[in-house]
């Protein structure tokens, strides 16, 4: 597989620019909480010769590929098989108390999308798996087979923001009574048949259902909710965090976490802000940044990205 072809890091230059002030120093440590195939990390290791990177990933395939691609950097590169809400344990396990940078590149990876057998892509027939760590947990086929119609509706509505959630849940329950739904092509066919023609013209009808199943299988939102405060807590003063999110549910969690960290804790009505109430972080970008039009044209996976970033300015005593 040509990894250079399938994996183009999103907003790489901007990510490097934002993290550089924190990483361009002796002994700096960056946590790449979503290592994937190591595209972002390789750029950081090349740019900053004194940098150590702790790369986290729950996907054994991704870690194996990253080990091969980053082998030249020796012990400057550390690999940890974990979900990213385990960031604090991972940092401690590598012998560090705090770090100077954290990077999250959220969502499904190029590797997972392009390996049909993983079952993430609605455009390719494969077993309905969708586990980012294929060694454990329920598959998407398990969710389809086991959950009630009401629960399937909730999953599609909450995690896919799918307006036809009730219709799709009803169609799936009806279809699984006739035969098990174990492959992506089966599910796509069921969803397409249940979709009004006018809606089909607006985009692939299975897109949001597949997103919702992937989030459910991997517990992505609950993991992210736990990971954000843990990541912020690992940052040293002057340390920076950059997060790339690809759908609104993820971005909402990131936005709230960073805004809370960058807000004063002073009770309303105080005539002045005491030092202990000052924010621990400052936001580095206004709102969320998007990839440039040229990058979106060259790399379609950059189209939905929303980048947010913050810097720790103080640590409470």
Binding residues for S-adenosyl-L-methionine: 38-40, 57, 84, 105, 112
CB distance 57 to 66 below 8 Å:
yes
Backbone angles phi, psi at 130, to 5 degrees: 70, 10
Quote the tokens at residue 90.
């991972």
Q: How far is CA 25 from CA 51, 121, 232, in A?
A: 8, 41, 20
Give Cβ neighbours of residue 309 (< 8 Å, ≥ 6 apart): 18, 240, 241, 242, 243, 283, 284, 285
Residues at the binding site are 38-40, 57, 84, 105, 112
Query: How far is it, in rounded angstroms, from Cα 32 to Cα 291?
Result: 20
Q: What is the arrangement of strands in the sheet containing 29-32, beginning at the earlier edge strand? A: 77-81, 52-57, 29-32, 99-105, 235-245, 306-312, 281-283
Helix (H), strand (E) at residue 12: helix 12-23
Q: Please, what's the b/e burial string for 71-96 (b: 16 or more CB within 10 A of its CB; e: otherwise)?
A: eebeeebbbbbebbbbbeebbeeeeb
Report helix, strand or coil for 81.
Answer: strand
CB distance 56 to 34 below 8 Å:
yes
Closest to 181 measured CA to CA, from 205, 203, 207, 209: 209
Helix (H), strand (E) at residue 264: none
């Amino acid at each position: 597989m040509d990894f250079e072809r399938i994996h183009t890091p999103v907003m790489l230059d901007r990510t490097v620019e934002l993290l550089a002030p924190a990483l361009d120093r002796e002994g700096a440590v960056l946590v790449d909480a979503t290592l994937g195939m190591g595209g972002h990390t390789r750029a950081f290791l090349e740019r900053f010769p004194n940098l150590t990177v702790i790369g986290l990933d729950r996907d054994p395939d991704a870690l194996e590929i990253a080990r091969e691609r980053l082998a030249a950097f020796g012990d400057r590169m550390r690999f940890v098989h974990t979900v990213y809400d385990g960031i604090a344990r991972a940092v401690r396990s590598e012998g560090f108390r705090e770090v100077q940078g954290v990077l999250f590149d959220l969502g499904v990876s190029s590797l997972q999308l392009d390996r049909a057998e993983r079952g993430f892509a609605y455009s390719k027939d494969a077993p309905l798996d969708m586990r980012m760590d294929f060694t454990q947990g329920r598959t998407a086929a398990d969710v389809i087979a086991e959950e009630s119609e009401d629960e399937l509706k909730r999953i599609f509505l909450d995690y896919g923001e799918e307006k036809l959630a009730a219709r799709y849940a009803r169609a799936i329950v009806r279809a699984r009574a006739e035969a098990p739904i174990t492959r992506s092509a089966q599910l796509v066919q069921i969803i397409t048949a249940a979709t009004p023609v006018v809606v089909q013209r607006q985009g692939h009808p299975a897109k949001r259902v597949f997103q919702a199943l992937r989030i459910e299988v991997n517990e992505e939102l609950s993991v992210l909710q736990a990971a954000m405060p843990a990541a912020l807590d690992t940052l040293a003063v002057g340390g920076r965090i950059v997060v790339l999110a690809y759908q609104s549910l993820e971005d909402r969690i990131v936005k709230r976490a960073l805004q809370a960290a960058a807000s004063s804790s002073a009770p309303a009505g105080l005539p002045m802000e005491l030092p202990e109430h000052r924010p621990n972080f400052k936001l580095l970008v206004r709102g969320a940044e998007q990839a440039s039009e040229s990058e979106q044209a060259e790399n379609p996976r950059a189209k939905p990205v929303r980048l947010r970033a913050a810097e720790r300015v103080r640590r409470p005593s």
